[in-house]
Chains A and B, each alone.
Chain A
């Protein structure tokens, strides 16, 4: 017996924009010299990146006033000064080429009258630099990269393989275990290098813009492998998730001139206590807090059927023609899911979980680091799964697809460079494979118990109630208690009814829930630990930013079965001094 082994030079975990961009970089630079495997729990083109809508941030028009310095400053100010400024410089400088490359690979970027690529305003950016493909940026970037990859040979796709864990021994990446959903068997993938590009953790929350599949598997398995998770307390709530189902209504809607109204039909963002200058285009943490405050002070609407609070996003003044040209998906989504035509009526929205600033601890070149800053040889992380950190405590809109591209490129280059100059590391110890099999198939052995779904839904509600936009220490303590109870319930009683081996999605769902339970523990403990308010992390008991004590990155590290310990990592400040933010 023993697990079957598959070997490649480089393995990419995940097939979103970051994973596909890394794959394209490896293939276009190294061609057949690198034997590449791409493992994804969905079919390669179906990753959550397709849901990105509004734009990708890049400096395309210095002749018209934009500059790297301005993009860097906006990003750093947006991050509430927790971003590493050297990482931000790399990011802004590498971005323009990414836009041009995509243009040359077939990306349908929207156009200006002069035939050049169109950009629009976005929150927190002081220049209109969100590069747009109407409002289907993620969809079209995914298609462009996937299609581009089809041009190359010598790469293997593993569509619908679920990675259970990866192995690090003595500071070296050794391989990963994955279930092929088509036969239900566990396989060991060995490779010289691996890139984790598994996306964010948004399905921790019930009201979310994320796909059902965004369960942060890469972060959870990194945590289990002893890798530090950087800044996990910072979860971004996008101001405008469609009520009731949370589907994203792009910031581009406000970029094009959409305004937010409370139940008195007041444009509250213009008030002095919100963002009198930037108004609806303040950074997302600011807008989301203002919206939740409107609700807490009785100025939100309440949906009769679901009892969900909401405020209104009004686009009616833009006119049907402009909405069709610039925001066609928003119109389609509003009509399909709410029966509301935004050209005629405002749409109901509320802050929804949207992005995780935190992630796997890496350096500014996306090499995965241990607690002491040593590179885990062969291992990289890209996209939302990583924290380099470009976004610090709050990410600006249009900077996520951008970072996926840049980090995909960087990790592609470095993983290939490492693979051509190194030997395949030894396989993990045989007993490790046995442990993994016991763990995976152990889930199938229990004959009764609680299905994972109810545990997952209780977890989503717990996170909404106790770790949403505003965070109260007593409430968080209560939330943590619930998380620990749910963890206990899962590990002692979770039950997989389906005993089949082909497409056993019941078993996969249980493993996703287990990953969410790890991620919840990490986010909750870190949120309780950081006693200040910065960016997306707003503590009611510590409403101010505290640079004297907290201008540092959190590193959350696994500590036994149910605990996290903390270490800290310095913030690189090589350009601008932290100052108080005003929008």
Chain B
């Protein structure tokens, strides 16, 4: 959702009606339940849910943690659109004319209890695209000596896609995912692009092989609902389009991967910054030796 500059300053209706689609896994019953909550300026949908859980109905199931739009726990359908409860203002989704907010579990995810959904398949798809940096020289990768070269612009090119919080909103909004549970979906495909687009990565061949498949990037219909609902402006639709373009270049043999090598230390610029005069050594302390001594990590080390 686009950043609404005024939402947090608007006064919501005094009383809102929160309508929740509930599910009890033990009785297998689904029902709609309504709660009335006093709203105030700055109140988020998560605040309202916590008010209900703590004061009206302790049995309500909802997943949450950071309350600042980073952990990705509290995705749900709010008035029919996948959103994060913690970064949605009541004033954004309810008004005096229509003070009802309808909450449902994220579509395309199996419901576990009330607003809590099952993420295993989503996490497995993420895993399937090898979402980690692949380097040919694995020894250097695990015993690095220098920074891998990356220009500020190259950083910005992956930073946006690194902002993904695994909340599943894109997946819930995707019409293809809804129709075909085997489709990798926008999150995993976006992540494939994030690594292919990373100058430090050398695993594009393996990753192209995963996404150049029946359930891969060709299934995307460019509805772009994923990007419309992304709470972090990651733009999976753009990433999938760019991924497909790179993939076709790769098939034709035109794809050239920019590389990145470890850099030596920067050329010396100046003197070592001295410690302040207040840093007085205890008798017998040898600063040079303390700095040089290697740290030995072992159970035998006393």
Contact = CB atoms under 8 A, between A and B. Distances in A.
Interface of A: 28, 42-43, 45-48, 50-51, 60-70, 73, 77, 89-90, 93-94, 97, 100-101, 103-106, 108-117, 126-127, 133-134, 136, 139-140, 143, 147-148, 150-151, 182, 211-213, 244-245, 247-248, 305, 332-333, 335-339, 341, 365, 409-410, 413-414, 417-418, 451, 453-454, 457, 496-498, 500-503, 505-506, 573-577, 579, 582
A332 B67 contact: no
Given A51-B68, A365-B297, A111 B282 contact: no
A67 B195 contact: no
A264 to B, nearest CB: 25
B147 A574 contact: no
Interface in B162-214: 162-166, 195, 198, 200-201
A43 B109 CA distance: 15
B58 interface: yes
A104 B67 contact: no
B152 A111 contact: yes
B253 interface: no
Contact of B273 (A127, A136, A365): A127
Chain B CB within 10 Å — which of A47, A68, A212 has the most? Answer: A212
Interface stretch (B100-108, B221-229, B241-249, B262-270): B262-270
B87 interface: yes
A336 B69 contact: yes
Interface of B: 3, 5-10, 24-26, 40-42, 44, 50, 53-55, 58-59, 61-62, 64-73, 87, 89, 112-113, 116, 119, 123, 126-127, 130-133, 135, 140-142, 144-152, 154-155, 158-159, 162-166, 195, 198, 200-201, 263, 265-273, 275-276, 278-282, 285, 287, 290-291, 293-295, 297-299, 301
Contacts of B198: 106
A89 B3 contact: no
B266 A63 contact: yes
B301 A365 contact: yes
A577 B67 CA distance: 43
Contact of A410 (B126, B148, B297): B297
A575 B279 CA distance: 9
Nearest to B278: A579
B42 A338 contact: yes
Contacts of A457: 54
Contacts of A134: 159
B144 A104 contact: yes
Given A100-B146, A140-B162, 5 more contacts: A46-B71, A105-B132, A148-B133, A496-B58, A501-B26
Contacts of A28: 142
Nearest to B161: A108
A474 B141 CA distance: 57
B187 to A, nearest CB: 12
25 contacts: A42-B65, A46-B72, A62-B265, A70-B275, A90-B295, A93-B295, A97-B144, A100-B144, A103-B147, A104-B141, A104-B144, A114-B263, A114-B266, A116-B147, A116-B263, A139-B165, A148-B132, A211-B67, A248-B68, A332-B69, A505-B53, A506-B58, A506-B59, A575-B285, A576-B279
Nearest to A182: B112
Contacts of A212: 50, 64-67
Contacts of B275: 69-70, 73
A145 B92 CA distance: 35
B289 to A, nearest CB: 11
Contacts of B279: 73, 77, 576
A575 B283 CA distance: 8
B66 A211 contact: yes
Nearest to A332: B3
A115 B89 CA distance: 40
* Chain A to chain B: the 8 pairs with minimum beta-carbon distance, closest first: A339-B9, A106-B133, A339-B8, A453-B54, A65-B273, A115-B149, A497-B58, A100-B144
A579 B280 contact: yes
Given A73-B275, A576-B281, A451 B3 contact: no
Nearest to B44: A337
A336 B266 contact: no
B158 to A, nearest CB: 5
B67 A115 contact: no
Contacts of A110: 152, 155
A359 to B, nearest CB: 20
Nearest to B71: A46
Nearest to B260: A115
Contact of B5 (A63, A143, A335, A576): A335
A96 B282 CA distance: 26
Contacts of B158: 108
A305 B43 CA distance: 12
B194 to A, nearest CB: 9
Contacts of A63: 265-269
Contact of A245 (B67, B123, B131, B268): B67
B132 A151 contact: yes
A60 B155 CA distance: 18
A127 B274 CA distance: 11
B195 to A, nearest CB: 7
A256 to B, nearest CB: 16
B147 A100 contact: yes
Contacts of A133: 159, 162
A336 B87 contact: yes
A429 to B, nearest CB: 27
Chain A CB within 10 Å — which of B5, B89, B119, B294 has the most? Answer: B5
Contacts of B53: 453, 505-506
B251 to A, nearest CB: 25
Nearest to B273: A65
B71 A50 contact: yes
A248 B68 CA distance: 9
A330 to B, nearest CB: 11
A544 to B, nearest CB: 17
Contact of B65 (A48, A116, A341): A48
A173 to B, nearest CB: 14
Contact of B269 (A51, A64, A454): A64
A505 B61 contact: yes
Contact of B26 (A50, A335, A502): A502
A64 B7 contact: no
Contact of A498 (B59, B119, B127, B131): B59
Nearest to A101: B144
A573 B6 CA distance: 53
Contacts of A305: 40-42
B95 to A, nearest CB: 17
Given A103-B147, A104-B133, A106-B200, A574 B66 contact: no
